[in-house]
Amino acid sequence: METFGKKYNVFPDLLYIIDVDVEESIKRRIASGEPVTFTKKDFLTNYKRKFDEFAECIESKLYLDTTNLSKSEVADIVFNKIITL
């Protein structure tokens, strides 16, 4: 993200962040039967930290923590937020 920002100097007008705890992310991947190539805890933790640093630079953002939400709850929340925009 840092390299992207320096290279292109492009930042979104609005950033919609759909977040999940790293441990929960790993559990969901394994439960869904998806390949676990990039599902290493240290990789995800570092990626999340870097993304959070990038997100701090964006003034206009919407944040949703999905750790304890179902897919349908997330879909409803996202739909309602978008409609209200």
28-48 pLDDT, tens digit each? 888 888 776 666 788 888 988
State pTM to two decimals. Answer: 0.67
At 73, the pLDDT band (50, 70, 90 cuts) reads very high
Q: What are the contacts of 56-64 at 24+ separation with CB within 8 A? A: 57/5, 57/11, 58/11, 58/12, 58/14, 58/15, 60/13, 60/14, 60/15, 61/14, 61/15, 61/16, 61/17, 62/14, 62/15, 62/16, 62/17, 63/17, 63/19, 64/16, 64/17, 64/18, 64/19
9: pLDDT confidence band, cut at 50, 70 and 90? low
